[in-house]
A and B are shown apart, each in its own frame.
Chain A
Amino acid sequence: MSAGLGGAAAIVGIGQTEFSKAAGRSETQLASEAIVAALLDAGLTTDDVDGFVSYTIDPVEETELVRALGTPEVRWSSRVPYGGGGSQGVLLHAAAAVAGGAARVVVAYRAIKARSGERFGRAKVSTRPTSAHSGSTASQWCSPFGVLTPASWMALNATRYMHAFGVTSADFGRAVVQLRDYAATNPNAHFYGRPITLEDHQSSRWIAEPAIRLFDCCQETDGAVAIVITASDRAQDTVAPIEIAAAGNAGLFGEEIASDHYRPNLEVMEGSVALATQLFGGGFTRSDIDVAMIYDAFTPVFLMQLEALGFCGFGEAKDFIADGQISPAGSLPCNTNGGLIGEGYIHGLNLTVEAVRQLRGTAVNQLDGPRTALVAASRTGVILQRPL
């Protein structure tokens, strides 16, 4: 799939609202504001839009969205399951739609009030058996045992990972220090101006011992982001197109999102291994990647994905990070906006926006002329590239 789509579609616009702890308005309004901003960025209007894609878990009704935006005729729409692990799947769907002619201009969006509204991290018992298409059976198999939050679900995998490879909480802390360094110089970040030391990380309270401390958790955030995608031939007329050079989705037998407890070997994120095989099967190599955005809902999965994606060996992410490889001067600067841990949690789609900014040369922590970016979120991912 990824090879077939390579270069057929491009991101031509990005937009967002402010990120906050209390947006004070509806998700529909947040989405509408972000979409209008993204279209303005693209030099397009709502009249040009004929496709929408978001996450299955997004609360915005398409009918409400269209009513607010005034788009005259939606010819195609889609939703991607698996929560944040499916976040980059919106680009795969959009690219397939415009490449195949089902739509001409697709808007991908995510609007969320993860702080003032329904908090993922609240201890709540659901009576629904599954997450209703966000990829988890946690409510039926975890709730009766007090395993109520994504952190508690993922900590079970992380503890095993630590045991297998001798990884410590301080190893996670070194990653967080770097992410918070990026966030400290990003005015859009929750943790703008607030870098931390390893000691700060190590003294933050336990959420799920021995894997996840408070500072290992992403920042539940209110806000929205939107991304405009068109076919590459049309994108050539826009100001700053970024090609979707590859897009992949790897959903494996037995895998769940967050409550991924039933694969025999939980020491490795096998979905990410499969994703990398797709993304790097069409001519790209890891050394082509100038900057990476890797879904950091919690620090352990950031390290595990670095390994699964093949940027270092299994168990070696701790050394890769300690050697400074994810820093601006490293071989793979990562999550240069501060990531979901430092900037905020728009469920992974703010990482995509940051990748576009880096490739355009407009990021706040701008690297030196990156041309190729990877955005990876568990089972879904894209390689984005600035045309020469």
Chain B
Amino acid sequence: MTRPAPTITDDNRGFWEAAHDGRLVSQQCSGCGQLRHPPRPMCPYCHSIEHELVELAGTGTVYSYAILHHPQHPAFSYPVIAVLVDLDEGVRLLSNLVGVEPGDVHIDMPVRVTFDETEAGMAVPVFEPMGSST
């Protein structure tokens, strides 16, 4: 089984559509320029409802992680490596780390984005150690 498709809403659609196209984006407020994730319909700093979706470099570091052993869902291979990635532009993303042994994961590890397919032909951004080859 492939991983479940993301749930699309009016507020998050741009993020997931970009991921489907192989791009990692963040909302950027058209009023004050703040980047923000998760997406939202209004800027909490200036209350502008206008935003753009800007492409991020896709590089960052592991802020934290967890090696998930149990319980298990048939859509995933275990252990699942869950990570919080602090991207270089300053937004944080929850994702998976791939292409690494669980025992080698560590906080502050430099990582870069890649994409993994989901059900329904969608894709999600996942991360691999910087310097690994794919």
- Asked if B84 and A144 sit within 8 Å, CB to CB, the answer is no
User: Is A140 an interface residue when CB atoms closer than 8 A count as contact?
Assistant: yes
Q: Closest CB of chain A to B8's CB: distance in Å?
A: 8
Kindly list chain B residues whose C-beta atoms are within 8 Å of the C-beta of A25. none
Picked from A122, A155, A262, the residue with its CB within 8 Å of the CB of B66 is A155
Point out the residue from A125, A159, A163, A209 that lies within 8 Å of B75, measured CB to CB.
A125
Q: How many A-B residue pairs have CB under 8 A?
A: 115
Contacting pair B4 A144 (CB below 8 A) = yes
Measured between beta carbons, the chain B residues less than 8 angstroms from A124 are 73
- Find chain A residues with CB under 8 A from B124 CB: 144-145
1/0 per residue, CB under 8 A from B, across A88-126: the answer is 000000000000000000000000000000000111111
Are A157 and B64 in touch, CB under 8 angstroms?
A: yes
Query: Is A387 among interface residues, defined by CB-CB distance under 8 A?
Result: no
Pair B94/A129 contact, Cβ less than 8 Å: no
B92 touching A262, Cβ below 8 Å: yes
Q: Does B71 contact A123, Cβ atoms closer than 8 Å?
A: yes
Among A139, A145, A211, the residue within 8 A (CB) of B96 is: A145
Whether, in the assembled complex, A160 has its beta carbon less than 8 Å from a beta carbon of chain B, the answer is: yes
Report B11-38 residues with CB < 8 Å from chain A CB. Answer: 12, 37-38
The yes or no answer to A287 lying at the interface (CB within 8 A) is no
CB distance from A54 to the nearest CB of B (A): 27
Asked if A63 is an interface residue, CB under 8 A from chain B, the answer is no
Measured CA separation A199–B113 after assembly (Å): 40
A2–B60 CA distance with the chains assembled, in angstroms: 42
Report the bound CA distance from A163 to B7 in whole Å: 32
Asked if A140 and B12 sit within 8 Å, CB to CB, the answer is yes
A292 to chain B, nearest CB (A): 27
Interface residues of A in 203-217 (CB under 8 A from B): 205-212, 214
Cβ distance B28 to chain A, nearest Cβ, rounded Å: 16
Question: Which residues 71-107 in B have Cβ within 8 Å of A in the complex?
Answer: 71-73, 75-76, 79-80, 82-84, 92, 94-96, 102, 107
A123-B72 CB under 8 A given contacts A137-B38, A140-B6: yes
CB of B68 within 8 Å of the partner chain: yes
Which residues in A have their C-beta under 8 angstroms from that of B63? 160, 266
A17 at interface by CB-CB < 8 Å: no
A234 to chain B, nearest CB (A): 43
Assess whether B69 is in contact with A208, with CB atoms less than 8 Å apart: yes
Q: Is A143 an interface residue (CB 8 A)?
A: yes
Q: Which residues of B contact A142 (CB under 8 A)?
A: 94
Q: Which residue of the partner chain A has the closest CB to B72?
A: A123
Q: How far is the CB of B7 from chain A (nearest CB, A)?
A: 5
Contacts of B118 in A (CB 8 A): 144
Q: A residues within 8 A CB of B83?
A: 156
- How many A residues are at the interface, by size bracket? 35 or more
What is the bound-complex CA distance between A163 and B61, given in angstroms?
A: 15
Chain A residues in 8 Å Cβ range of B44:
253
Which residues does chain A contribute within 8 Å of B102, judged by CB atoms? 209
Min CB distance A255 to B, Å, is 13
Question: Which residues of the partner chain B approach A122 to less than 8 Å between Cβ atoms?
Answer: 71
Of chain A, the residue at the smallest CB distance from B124 is A144
CB distance from B52 to the nearest CB of A (A): 20
Instruction: Check B66–A156 contact: CB distance below 8 A.
Output: yes
Asked if B9 is at the interface (CB within 8 A of a chain A CB), the reply is yes
A residues 20-39 near B (Cβ < 8 Å) are none
C-alpha spacing A121/B71, complex, angstroms: 7
Per the bound structure, the CA–CA distance linking A76 and B111 in Å amounts to 53
Query: Is A228 close to B, CB under 8 A?
Result: no
Say whether A146 faces chain B, with CB atoms less than 8 Å apart.
yes
- Contact indicator B75/A152 (Cβ below 8 Å): no
A189 at the interface (CB under 8 A from B): no
Determine whether B67 belongs to the interface, using a CB cutoff of 8 Å to chain A.
yes
Q: Is A261 an interface residue (CB 8 A)?
A: yes
Which residues of chain A come closer than 8 Å to B72, judged between CB atoms? 123
- Answer whether residue A49 sits at the interface, using C-beta atoms and an 8 A cutoff: no
Interface residues of B in 45-75 (CB under 8 A from A): 63-73, 75
Establish whether residues B38 and A262, one from each chain, have CB atoms under 8 Å apart when the complex forms: yes
- A sample of 5 more A-B contacts (CB under 8 A), given A123-B72, A145-B3, A146-B96, is A142-B94, A144-B3, A163-B64, A208-B67, A262-B37
